[in-house]
């Protein structure tokens, strides 16, 4: 089914605006990530997503493990099997503890993490819960993480919400 939904953009036959984004992806990522085969059908959108995605991929304020907690949690929230499979591996490789990965996959709150990593885990949980974060919790995140990290987590969650929805809508399944 996925082959019928995902219409890959052939760089040889791409329009000028598409080729511009493909070139930027090559510079920033060295490849065309799968979601861009969806977004390149709208080159202006793809251009903006490239900027955000490349930024998230090379976050200047989050560690790779912190980014992967946000990415994997978002993929699980949206039940995006393709993204879950890819980022489960990335999370473990980045050093996210196995018990934290298991908790994310089981949609459980991660217990026992402390310091900045624990605050990131808690913030991601709160952000994805969709409720109002009370003043005390926000003050904790502000004090322990700072506004730059809070902003980065929001953008990472937002970007990977789009990735997760795109992969699911196009029925992409993880590689076995």
Least confident of 20-24, 30-34, 94-98: 30-34
For residues 71 and 134, membership in a common domain is answered with yes
Task: Select the highest-mean-pLDDT range: 26-40, 104-118, 153-167.
Answer: 153-167
* Nearest-5° Cα angle at 65, 129 to 46: 75
Which residue matches tokens 């993929």? 75
For residues 6 and 68, membership in a common domain is answered with no
CATH number reported for the structural domain that contains residue 69 in this entry: 1.20.1290.10
Alpha carbons 144 and 125: distance in angstroms, whole number: 16
**Structural domain containing residue 135:** 64-169
Residue 98 carries which DSSP code?
Answer: H
Q: What is the pTM of this model?
A: 0.91
Of the three residues 57, 82, 98, the one that is the final residue of a domain is 57
- The answer as to whether 175 is a domain residue is no
Alpha carbons 33 and 162: distance in angstroms, whole number: 13
Alpha carbons 13 and 125: distance in angstroms, whole number: 43
What distances in angstroms separate CA 118 from CA 23, 66, 101, 112, 138, one per listed residue?
A: 38, 9, 13, 8, 14
What distances in angstroms separate CA 28 from CA 21, 50, 52, 74, 169, one per listed residue?
A: 10, 8, 11, 23, 26
For residues 36 and 71, membership in a common domain is answered with no
**With bands split at pLDDT 50, 70 and 90, how would you rate the model's confidence at 2?**
very low
Q: Name the domain count of the chain.
A: 2
For residues 168-175, give the mean pLDDT. Answer: 86
Please determine, for residue 103, whether its predicted confidence score (pLDDT) is greater than 60: yes
Percent of the chain residues topping a pLDDT of 70: 98
For residues 129 and 47, membership in a common domain is answered with no
Task: State residue 29's pLDDT score.
Answer: 78
For residues 82 and 51, membership in a common domain is answered with no
Q: Minimal CA–CA distance to 87: which of 8, 7, 157, 37?
A: 157
For residues 32 and 87, membership in a common domain is answered with no
For residues 120 and 141, membership in a common domain is answered with yes
For residues 156-169, give the mean pLDDT. Answer: 95
For residues 26 and 72, membership in a common domain is answered with no
């Amino acid at each position: 089914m996925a082959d019928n939904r995902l219409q890959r953009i052939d760089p040889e036959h791409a329009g000028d605006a598409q080729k511009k984004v493909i070139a930027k992806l090559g510079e920033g990522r060295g490849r065309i990530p799968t979601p861009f085969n969806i977004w390149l059908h709208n080159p202006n959108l793809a251009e903006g997503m490239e900027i955000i995605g490349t930024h998230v991929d090379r976050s200047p304020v989050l560690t790779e493990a912190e980014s992967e907690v946000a990415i994997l949690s978002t993929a699980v929230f949206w039940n995006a099997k393709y993204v879950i499979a890819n980022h489960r591996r990335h999370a473990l490789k980045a050093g996210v503890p196995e018990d934290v990965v298991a908790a994310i996959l089981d949609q459980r709150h991660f217990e026992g993490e402390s310091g900045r990593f624990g605050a990131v885990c808690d913030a991601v949980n709160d952000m994805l819960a969709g409720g109002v974060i009370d003043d005390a919790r926000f003050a904790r995140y502000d004090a322990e993480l700072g506004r730059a990290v809070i902003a980065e987590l929001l953008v990472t969650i937002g970007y990977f919400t789009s990735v997760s929805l795109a992969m699911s809508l196009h029925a992409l399944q993880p590689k076995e």
